[in-house]
Amino acid sequence: MIKKTLFSILLCCSCVFYSQSELSNELIWQTGAFYPNTISGIESMNDGENYTSIDRFENAIEINQYSYKNNKKIKTIFSSNEFKDFSFNDYSFSEDENFILLSTNVESIYRHSSKGNYYIYDVKENTLSKLTDFSLGKQRLAKFSPDGTKIAFVRNNNLFYVILESMKEFQVTIDGEINNIINGATDWVYEEEFSFHKGFYWSPDSKKIAYYKFDESNVKEYQMEMYGTLYPTHYKFKYPKAGESNSIISINVYNILQERTIPFDIGLNPDIYIPRITWGKDNDNLYVVKLNRLQNQLEILAGNFSNTIPNSQGVSTKVIYEEKSDTYIDVHDNMEFISDEEFIWTSEKNGFNHIYIINYIKQTENQLTSGKWEVTSVYGLNNKTNQLYFQAAKNHPTQREIYSVNLETKSLKCISSKSGTNEAEFSNNFKYFINTNTTANTPHYITLNKSDGKEIRVIEDNQNLVKRMDNYNLFQKEFITVPNGKGLDLNAWVIKDPKLDTLKKHPLLMFVYGGPGINTVNDSWSWMNYFWFQYLAKQGFVVVSVDARGTGYRGRDFKHSTYLQLGKFETEDQIAAAKYFGSKNYIDEKNIGIFGWSYGGYMSSLCITKGADVFSTAIAVAPVTNWRFYDNIYTERFMRTPQENGSNYDVNSPINHVDKLKGNYLLIHGTADDNVHFQNAIEMTTALVNANKQFDLFNYPDKNHGIYGGNTRLHLYTLMTNFLNNNLND
């Protein structure tokens, strides 16, 4: 059953209105005409035979139940129609599925984090009640206990829980303070670089809560000026730059029955990272992943928090797993305990990222997958069949497939049938999965499948969007390889008119990101950038992207080759690729441009300076211009500290190469960028002025790293289109 939402109805309307075959920035960035239909809020129900999803209609938001067997709607579990003026952003069920936690009035904090107000919906009684007194402040990260009797949450940097039967609130911590102490959540740099912000975890028996405490009192503050009022205000937050002090981390376990907090012993060295913690299969064992400051030594610590612990300073811990690297170790979410002594783990320690079964009691390792390809995500284990399900880039670094592997026989089977990029969401019993397939040229194709890969039903094929795209005679994004002059072939894609006049010279635009492990050359849907590149190609540009050394899914050595000198080899490869394309008879070698955002803006800034003889034009959006300005977890992972490796910090920062600039340079930044600070643009501006270099600068007031909201994206891409046409497309 294809679910028609309000958004899809609006898209149909916009399709009728924009029936002409000409692309424009207004069409791409303002109308939503090219947005695919997707499914949001998919949650498997306990029985594994049904799932729920959020369906949005013109006058209501619903949580509906569907059958995995045939995708037919079973019933509406919740409808906002029954509660006047009520809306919600997200939901979660209690374990017995009798209650639903609904988040409302959500406001963003940083990239992942937010705060809002939570309501509890009683499914049987059809009643809606507040989780807590909203006048005390918005709540964060609310989570049901496994037994469904309690909900924990964070408010004003303190941890609380509510007993549902009485709706009585209990406070676990009391010392939380903004820009000082954080309980149950993470600080800015953990959220950004370790990709999580919920810092508390219920034990399986719901009697204990493990939580992070961040003491960020000694971390230096960054200050952003916020405009829009008569007197601009300042937003201050703790941001540890490369080589600077971090928060002091502690891990604690609160025993609800005993009403006491017990610390987890993580050792005497405070200059460490704790990127993950998890409870084991039993009720008492907590496991903590610990990294050293340079992120090249990893330990997993185990501690037992049984109720018999005496009133002491804490529990003793032991190391159950160790891993070391000459470079760095990536943090992941693929750790899962399958028994009291065994867990699933992924590592690239043998050259490619693969799955291991670690038995820490017997001290054995069983490598489950192997080969010159990479596991990209582990979905989980069906304990009844011993089948483990995962995603991998096995066929090619640009593609993703879904696989199953048997824990005993190691028999491997591909269960996704389409090429391109496949992403799966499995039912709780692993009997079914919903697969979303996209390619570089086709939008979301969503199917319901049995666990062996057999397709049950097409949920969404986005045929309306496919037909709409056909009206614009779009060009195919084609995949090729490009030599880098060092004996390596680099993956690339090209968008150009197949009827391009090869007797004429055409401008080239290269799109770059280039950061460690991150690819732009993917056989997957790239959203609105795809249409913007098409728009440029229709104006005579040839648009390409090349994955240089340091990008992902070609093995550890390829990815780690940029260690200690970010920017050096990536820039060399982009220059080599530009020369390769410039040698083509249809490319104007004097009109080669490059565009990138964030790390890509860093790369485009390096290319227009260090590669000034090759690139004539560059657009840098929100670039790092000096690695000394960026956060320590990311920068030190690849560069070590500036105290240890300062020369490579400097030689690979664009700010130190402005004297080489000869072409056209457009620098764009949001003034409220909490990630890559506006300071990068200011200092780059200062350096360019001191070098007497002319350039273009555009700032977006109060916009963060994403630079969006209202007409912002339309304005941004119109600005960049005009800049390219004025400077590159003669």
Span 114-138, pLDDT tens digits: 999 999 999 999 999 999 999 999 9
pLDDT (0 to 100) of residue 17: 39
Confidence of residue 1 (pLDDT cuts 50, 70, 90): very low
Portion of the chain with pLDDT greater than 70, in percent: 96
Q: Of 193 and 40, which is predicted with more confidence?
A: 193
Confidence of residue 341 (pLDDT cuts 50, 70, 90): very high
Q: Where are the domains of the chain?
A: 476-686
Confidence of residue 59 (pLDDT cuts 50, 70, 90): confident
pLDDT (0 to 100) of residue 10: 37
Task: Round to whole Å and give the CA distance between 620 and 668.
Answer: 6
DSSP lists the bridge partners of residue 163 as: 150, 168
Q: Which of the 8 DSSP states describes residue 475?
A: P
Q: Which CATH superfamily is domain 476-686 in?
A: Alpha/Beta hydrolase fold, catalytic domain (3.40.50.1820)
pLDDT tens-digit map of 644-703: 999 999 999 999 999 999 999 999 999 999 999 999 999 999 999 999 999 999 999 999
pLDDT (0 to 100) of residue 275: 98
Portion of the chain with pLDDT greater than 90, in percent: 92
DSSP lists the bridge partners of residue 346 as: 355
Q: What is the mean pLDDT of residues 526-535?
A: 98
Contact 62, 82 (CB under 8 A): no
Say whether 682 sits in a helix, a strand or coil: helix
Count H helices and E strands in the chain, helices first: 12, 43
pLDDT (0 to 100) of residue 14: 40
pLDDT (0 to 100) of residue 147: 95
CA 257 and chain centroid, separation? 37
pLDDT (0 to 100) of residue 313: 59
Confidence of residue 309 (pLDDT cuts 50, 70, 90): low
Angle at 562 between CA 559 and CA 564, to 5 degrees: 130
Confidence of residue 2 (pLDDT cuts 50, 70, 90): very low
Q: How far apart are the first and last CA of the chain?
A: 51
Task: Round to whole Å and give the CA distance between 474 and 462.
Answer: 17
pTM (predicted TM-score): 0.94
